[in-house]
Amino acid sequence: MARLSSFLFVLSLLCVLPIYLCQQSYGGKLNPGYYAHSCPQAGEIVRSVVAQAVARETRMAASLMRLHFHDCFVQGCDGSLLLDSSGRIVSEKSSNPNSKSARGFEVVDQIKAQLEKQCPGTVSGADILTLAARDSSVLTGGPSWMVPLGRRDSRSASLSGSNNNIPAPNNTFQTILSKFNRQGLDVTDLVALSGSHTIGFSRCTSFRQRLYNQSGNGRPDMTLEQSFAANLRQRCPRSGGDQNLSVLDIVSAAKFDNSYFKNLIENMGLLNSDQVLFSSNDKSRDLVKKYAEDQEEFFEQFAESMIKMGNISPLTGSSGEIRKDCRKINS
């Protein structure tokens, strides 16, 4: 009974939290009311399944949000990440950024199965990812926003695009910014969207370099706060333990808030790609300070940047398809 009450309370948050209405246009043919007539239950179905998944495992919120990021940075927000390898399709799931780390596909499958029962052939996997990312934010205490909808699913995937377009944990600031710029995103989007690392975990293999060999000279990253580094070494040895997990936000790993930015100011960002936002560029440093001081400002910008990212090269109209199964193209 207690679990049911907790689930219903969390689900109710989706109805009472403020919704950020951004001034920018949604762009293209995307529209928050796209399924109002063809599948009015779509939003509720996605919310319900995501809420149940996050109730079972809080980490799932970060995992679902990450799927949306990794989908949009490759061929646009087209559900290409969801495809398994088959025939001419080489799955993006086997790329360096996704192999052994991308997760949450079973939750997407569950959402899709329920949607197909209610509205067959109507809601795309790409839109499922976008809605699930928003709901994951809300369920962990973060902002809500109106999600433009109407994306269709691709009939292809790009392993090379996944390997080349998604920022890596050890990339320099300029490399990361260049990858964002190629998607039409700027430094403000970069800093705000990186704030999603206020929830979730990262594997030892993603930050080991900072602990033992940051610059290829056998020495650690000296910008890493020393007591924090010592604790990380206990979880992440010099060799072995590649899949050992550490929280991305040492203060509140299960709560979507602005403590991530406060950690960066204290040199306690877990990934190199996090810490360089504070250490390597004046504009990004100023944004980190602003969001650390004003959580509302961060929430507003995060919502705006999520909508902007969700608008990257969507397939609309007669382009692409609505897959019956998110994992494979229609025959």
* Enzyme catalytic residues: 70
Helix (H) or strand (E) holding 310: helix 295-310
DSSP 40-87: TTHHHHHHHHHHHHHHH-TTHHHHHHHHHHHHHTTTSSSSGGGPPPBT
Measured CA to CA, the distance from residue 57 to residue 51 in angstroms comes to: 10
Is 175 annotated as contributing to ligand binding?
Answer: no
Cβ–Cβ < 8 Å for 91, 159? yes
Is 76 annotated as contributing to ligand binding?
Answer: yes
Is 198 annotated as contributing to ligand binding?
Answer: yes
Task: List, in sequence order, every residue forming a beta bridge with 325; answer none if it has no partner.
Answer: 328
Cβ–Cβ < 8 Å for 304, 24? yes
Is 286 annotated as contributing to ligand binding?
Answer: no
Is 221 annotated as contributing to ligand binding?
Answer: no
Is 74 annotated as contributing to ligand binding?
Answer: yes
Is 246 annotated as contributing to ligand binding?
Answer: no
Is 109 annotated as contributing to ligand binding?
Answer: no
Is 141 annotated as contributing to ligand binding?
Answer: no
Q: Could you tell me the two tokens for 53?
A: 């998944």
Q: Which residues of 83-115 are buried (b: 16+ CB within 10 A; e: fewer)?
A: beeeeebbbbbbbebbeebbbbbebbbebbebb
Supply angle C-alpha 272, 196, 227, rounded to 5. 45
Is 84 annotated as contributing to ligand binding?
Answer: no
Task: List, in sequence order, every residue forming a beta bridge with 19; answer none if it has no partner.
Answer: 144
Is 189 annotated as contributing to ligand binding?
Answer: no
CA 44 to the chain's CA centroid: 21
Helix (H) or strand (E) holding 315: none
Measured CA to CA, the distance from residue 77 to residue 266 in angstroms comes to: 34
* Known binding-site residue numbers: 71, 74, 76, 78, 80, 92, 167, 197-198, 249, 257
* Known binding-site residue numbers for substrate: 167
* Known binding-site residue numbers for heme b: 197
* Known binding-site residue numbers for Ca(2+): 71, 74, 76, 78, 80, 92, 198, 249, 257
